[in-house]
Amino acid sequence: MGTELQTRPLPGWLPGWARRAWTEPGGPRRPPARDIAIAGAVTVVALLAAYGEAHPTNPSAYFTNGHHLPHTPTPALLLVLLGGVVLAWRNRYPRLVLCVATAAVVAYSLPGYVNGAPVLLPALALVTIATRFPVRVSTAWALAVTLVLMAATAPSNPLGTYSGSFWLIPADNAVALFVGIAIANRSYVHTARVQQARQAALDAQRRVEEERLRIARELHDVVAHTMATITVQAAAATQLLRDRPDEAAESLKAIRAASKDGLRELRAILDVLRTATGDGEEPADPTQPTPGLSRLDDLVTGVRAAGLPVTVTVTGRRRKLPAVTDLSAFRIIQEALTNTLRHAGPATAAVTVDYGASAIRVEVTDTGRGLPGHAVPAGTAGHGLRGMRERAAAAGGKLEIGPRPAGGFRVAATLPLDDHWLATADTAAPTQKAAR
């Protein structure tokens, strides 16, 4: 279980700038058991070494290379104790703990106590500094602490600057600095891998959601158009069957054609799902035309057969479009005509396709029952209108939906053909083609 992390400021009697400078947000509210154990172990080692090396009962404490070693009294041991105890808070106040530990060792060294174990106390604090701050900052702290400790030890060291305890100071601090940097680098690599794994999972989830929405739009467009055509033609056939059987037969043929087209497109969509799950089903015939403006004439013929008079106007130079743009334009026209067929009542419809230099514009208008004076805001429509907005957005375009001032309804989409969207569409083309 992780340690509870919480911002805990320094005592209130300190000025605000001091609390902000020395407090590390996110540190433990109280020292965790691991920090207490490490600080305790280092403190015990430092105390025992400081007491034992220069104790009167230790014969080697009297003369080493001809120099007398002063005995370590209780106040000096208390300084070592202070420098060790504060290490339990090194993860909460790293800079403050380093300064306190260094000050304690300096006060211990000035009277001439030369035992090298207490210099481990600032070194441990330096490890934490190196794990929490940039290398440049950590190196500056290590250099400053080293110079301060050496300056405090050199004039009062009875063994002089040639003793091992004197040169132990830079050695300990250098090792502490490199250990801290190594720990920080390892933590950084681990964190980066965790973030990459989390981002990969989020990307996979996003792709699944996008694919689910895309398939839902495809199914809606195919089923809605097919069922609307069948419903209208079935109603006409029912009325015409007794008095005008020839016209009723034409309606039944239109139902058969709409059903056949709808089943073919549904099979194409389901084949993509079967292929993705690896169930061994044979894919649909790849030679079948895919939904796009090349099938606009077939779409309009079917709608006319369902009883809706439709005119088509194409302006500009026809050319091959990116797959996502071609599919979006076709589906928007299909959904708009389907809505007219289902909701407009006795009406006529007009389809306009304008191939511009940087965008293609498609527009579908009708003369049926509209919503005079009321637009259709985004997010308030059913699945069909929402699907058209999503298709326009997927191609980088915009969609306008609303009633016409003179009556009827209007759907207009502008889909860009600039270099950015051409490149994006080319990248997405294999997926789009497979989904058809």
Q: Where are the domains of the chain?
A: 16-200, 210-435
**Where is pLDDT greater, at 414 or 119?**
414
Question: Is pLDDT larger for residue 208 or for residue 370?
Answer: 208
pLDDT exceeds 70 at position 285: no
- Exposure string for 115-140, b = 16+ CB within 10 A, e = fewer: bbbbbbbbbbbbbbbbbbbeeeebbe
Task: Give the three-class secondary structure for 15.
Answer: coil
* Residue, of 40 and 281, whose pLDDT is higher: 40
Q: According to the model, what pLDDT value does residue 14 have?
A: 57
Give me the architecture of the 210-435 domain, per CATH: 2-Layer Sandwich (3.30)
State mean pLDDT over 344-358: 88
Tokens found for residue 2: 């992780």
- Is the pLDDT assigned to residue 49 strictly greater than 60? yes
Q: Pick 431 or 125 by higher pLDDT.
A: 125
Q: pLDDT digits over 173-194, tens only?
A: 899 899 999 988 888 888 888 8
Residue 289 has pLDDT above 60, yes or no: no
| pLDDT reported for residue 262 | 67
Going by pLDDT thresholds of 50, 70 and 90, the confidence category of residue 19 is low
pLDDT tens digits for range 225-275? 666 677 666 776 676 666 777 776 776 777 767 766 666 666 666 665 555
| Between residues 78 and 434, the one the model is more confident about | 78
The pTM assigned to this predicted structure is 0.46
What average pLDDT does this structure show over 57-64?
48
Q: Which of the four pLDDT bands, split at 50, 70 and 90, describes residue 56? A: low
Number of Cβ within 10 Å of residue 419's Cβ equals 9
Average pLDDT, the chain: 74
Q: Taking 60 as the threshold, does the pLDDT of residue 360 lie above it?
A: yes
